Structure 1
Amino acid sequence: MGETGPRKRREDEKSIQSDEPKTTSLQKEVGLFSGTCIIVGTIIGSGIFISPKSVLRNTEAVGPCLILWAACGVLATLGALCFAELGTMITKSGGEYPYLMEAFGPIPAYLFSWTSLVVMKPSSFAIICLSFSEYVAAPFYSGCEPPQVVVKFLAAAAIWLITIVNALSVRLGSYVQNFFTAAKLVIVAIIIVSGIVLLAQGNTRNFEQSFEGAKISVGAISLAFYNGLWAYDGWNQLNYITEELRNPFRNLPLAIIIGITLVTVSYILINIAYFTVMTPTELLQSQAVAVTFGDRVLYPASWIVPVFVAFSAIGAANGTCFTAGRLIYVAAREGHMLKVLSYISVRRLTPAPAIIFYGIIATIYIIPGDINSLVNYFSFAAWLFYGMTVLGLIVMRFTKKELERPIKVPIVIPILVTLIAVFLVLAPIITEPAWEYLYCVLFILSGLIFYFFFVYHKFAWAQKISKPVTMHLQMLMEAVPPEKDPE
């Protein structure tokens, strides 16, 4: 026992002095605090500063609006508990991808990776960075809207700054996440504390008769949920980096419960704060709800609000990039994407090719991108696969009984989440049909064509195209395949 320490040090020194590289696999660098910061940092982004108007527009009253924000938090918590069981039962990175693979086989898993790669994740990244750029540009164009060229240029700059940071280092990405999470909690605390002070001073008139004029139609409720849940999106992000999470059986559920509870309470209190200084009509007419709040409450220090809102958006974008790159990495490792996307940087030990590819797709989205259309497009596709994934949990209770389940939620929870997901997918189509939903379905199904040619049959001509591309990209990025797949 006494010689173990010195011998170990000598071996370590010899290893350092040798030319052998570190094991080229993802490193367990993320602890409970960083994991909680990833959840909070990814969820609290631009959503809480954009969605209140849309939620109120569809409910048309303060009372139902606040109830819906709480209901969205409950749904996110129930969904996250289902994902906690999946994440500790199948300890692979990639979120929904390995779960769908285990429950339903390669085709649903491939369709998810295809849709997530080209619709959900990059559109989410683009939405957040567009929101960031609008808040950054607004002070320089007082009294008018910033030019779209300026907004999109700033959004592209934000995308590539975050992409480079996450491609360079897992630890650097975590540090950036922790910093911006702390910064966004500052603005959240400022708004909440200001709201509590105003309530204590008797500013409660907007909460009187708070259910008068409320909408109760199925279509209005479903669209309100779409916008509210957009602000909560990110509740499942920690499942994308399970392989890099220290002690996942303990830290995954703890980070989920702590993070989502913090977010839900914060969102309700922020909305209450908004209504202490704005009537529903004033809130709907506001160009930027948080900025209007700051102008009325914090003047002459109202400049704090757009600065910290921008920090909040950057933190959310960083968390999205950090986790989404792992989805592409895992899908490519399974042979469902270009092989080079499953490679790891020799120098940095990060899935750099996957992260860079993700940045390219997100940049394409901001060119024609409109925030509202991107939110609807994203939400429809997201809840289609959230529901399918939770349904897979129910299926595996019967088909994969041998799998160890360190966390096992009551079966009623995944059943309830699946039914709500079906409602969220079908209700907007039935009550307010739009071409966007049809386009989204057709686009998802078009992934079967690529699966048939490049994955299932692997035709020789497809291999001739992909091999030289993989070789040149591998040399350019100094990336190699991981030495071993996780058990």
Structure 2
Amino acid sequence: MGDSLKKEIKFFSAFAIVMGTVIGAGVFFKSAAVTAATQSGSLTLLAWLVGGLLTICGGLTITELATAIPQTGGPVKYLEVAYGKLPGFLLGWAQGLVYYPANIAALGVIFATQLLNLFHLQQALLLPIALLAVVSITGINLLGTRITAYFQSATLILKMIPIVLIVVASLLSKSTVHFTLLPVDLPHGNWAQGFAAALLATLFAYDGWLGLGNMAGEMKRPEKDLPRAIIFGLGAVTLIYFLINWGMLKTLPLTQIAGNSNATSEAAMVLFGESGGKLVTLGILISVYGALNGYTLSGIRVPYALALEDSWPFSKQFRKLSKHTAVPYVVALFQLAVACVMMYFGNFDLLTDMVIFIMWTFNLFLFVAVFKLRKTQPDLPRPYRVPLYPVIPAIAIVGCAFILVMTLITQTKLVAIGIFLTALGVPVYFYKNKKQTDSSS
């Protein structure tokens, strides 16, 4: 069966997928972890800037691969071309089994948590609301790529309302809180370790942009629209994150933000009063819901791409498309089921910390692949080439290595779980490979 997904994604939809997936829960709820780690307003803002710059360098680098290999499955295909089938399969396995379901589960949990806080509902309703959120988003995705992309664009516009309101109001209001951007305020103790932990926290907030490559096969002009969507999208996200955190630091004391997952809502109440704060919280809910849609939309394409090659377990079922909307509905239901199971076993921070190490390990291989393919396949069509080569890919590689080392030191158990789940794909790959060989002989 061939790849028969419809080419329905244009530039603005692609741009909305990047921004809509990236700007989700992270900007509102990782601020608590960042400030708790740095204990400094200026270090907090520096962490958000450095995290954004690392992400932009990574985006500029991987876009060269995305435009040279514009296929459904995105990074899975880039790894296959650069290193062979097994590394590509393992990325697809990790994404399909862990990364996307864990992100969907985490966003479902945070959506439900905020809804409970907004309407003062019982804690017992947390899981049912979270389940309802992820089920409803899967239902929207089953309506077809065009409708899902329009929905993503709409939620992007709506989610910008609370962000713009907080930024403008906080920057224009007279601050009762004092903090300095420069010179950098270094707290007592091991500030470098705290900054490293803060940087790791920001990376979840910047995560999600890579998923656009999964849908390159459904884009009308991937060679033009894909790099523009990633570059402009990530640049805008970095600016937004810096400004909203600056606004929060001007509005609330550092001690009130650190470790407080409701800090954004509290800042909104200080700026706009109780009613205005509730409206902003409603905007935050829309933001999380839109990010949930972005991860669901991207995640469905990964097992589907592997199923087309008969590499995924039960490939025959997983490559089935719905008759009228051409959506891989079996994959969508599988992803939903795994995410629902994960909700029972993890909280927001646990789930998000686990996926960071797995994805940045594969990101390292992707960054190196740009160098490798320039050498081994110089004639590969490259509609876009990473600017300032080799400086920007080198920055991406150094930043990635730092992230991996720090995660290994600070989150050893979670790293072990992530490696174990990824390694489970090795016997699956060889079993499927042997089965294909036997059937063709």
Q: Is 1:411 the counterpart of 2:386 in the alignment?
A: no
Match of 1:88 in 2: 67
Q: Is 1:453 the counterpart of 2:431 in the alignment?
A: yes
Gaps (5+ residues) in structure 2?
Answer: none
Distance 2:261 2:82 in 1: 45
Distance 2:81 2:98 in 1: 23
Larger Rg: 1
Distance 2:23 2:180 in 1: 25
Q: Is 1:389 the counterpart of 2:363 in the alignment?
A: no
Q: Note the C-alpha offset of 1:212.
A: 3.9
Listed as ranges, the matches of 1:162-311 within 5 Å are 162-198=137-173, 201-203=174-176, 205-207=178-180, 211-213=185-187, 219-284=193-258, 286-299=260-273, 300-311=275-286
Distance 1:428 1:322 in 2: 28
Listed as ranges, the matches of 1:43-122 within 5 Å are 43-122=22-101
**Partner residue of 2:345 out of 359, 368, 384:** 368
Larger mean Cα displacement after TM superposition, 312-321 or 441-450? 441-450
Distance 2:40 2:178 in 1: 13
Larger mean Cα displacement after TM superposition, 179-188 or 276-285? 276-285
Assess if the C-alpha contact under 8 Å between 2:29 and 2:261 holds in 1: no
The amino acid across from 2:197 in the alignment is L
TM-score normalised to structure 2 length: 0.93
Distance 1:175 1:325 in 2: 17
Q: Note the C-alpha offset of 1:85.
A: 0.6
Q: Quickly say closer, same or farther: Cα 1:167–1:211, change in 2 above 3 A.
A: same
3-state SS of 1:230 partner: helix
Q: Quickly say closer, same or farther: Cα 1:328–1:351, change in 2 above 3 A.
A: same
Q: Note the C-alpha offset of 1:74.
A: 0.9
Q: Quickly say closer, same or farther: Cα 1:217–1:427, change in 2 above 3 A.
A: farther
**Partner residue of 2:415 out of 434, 437, 446:** 437
Distance 2:125 2:296 in 1: 22
3-state SS of 1:301 partner: helix
Q: Note the C-alpha offset of 1:391.
A: 1.4
Q: Note the C-alpha offset of 1:244.
A: 1.1
Distance 2:392 2:3 in 1: 39
Q: Note the C-alpha offset of 1:215.
A: 6.1
Match of 2:105 in 1: 126
Assess if the C-alpha contact under 8 Å between 2:106 and 2:352 holds in 1: yes
3-state SS of 2:326 partner: coil
Distance 1:151 1:202 in 2: 36
Distance 1:182 1:246 in 2: 22
Distance 1:362 1:214 in 2: 41
Assess if the C-alpha contact under 8 Å between 1:94 and 1:330 holds in 2: yes
Distance 1:248 1:215 in 2: 48
Assess if the C-alpha contact under 8 Å between 1:76 and 1:232 holds in 2: yes
Distance 2:193 2:63 in 1: 31
Q: Note the C-alpha offset of 1:289.
A: 1.2
CA offsets per residue over residues 166-196 of structure 1, 9 Å max, x none?
1121111012111111110111111111111
The amino acid across from 1:420 in the alignment is G
Q: Quickly say closer, same or farther: Cα 1:396–1:185, change in 2 above 3 A.
A: same
Q: Quickly say closer, same or farther: Cα 1:127–1:250, change in 2 above 3 A.
A: same
The amino acid across from 2:307 in the alignment is A
Q: Quickly say closer, same or farther: Cα 1:107–1:285, change in 2 above 3 A.
A: closer
TM-score normalised to structure 1 length: 0.85
CA offsets per residue over residues 179-221 of structure 1, 9 Å max, x none?
11111011111111111112xx354623377504166555433
Gaps (5+ residues) in structure 1?
Answer: 1-22, 464-487
Q: Is 1:351 the counterpart of 2:328 in the alignment?
A: yes
3-state SS of 2:345 partner: coil
Distance 2:243 2:361 in 1: 30
The amino acid across from 1:205 in the alignment is H
Aligned length: 432
Distance 2:167 2:384 in 1: 34
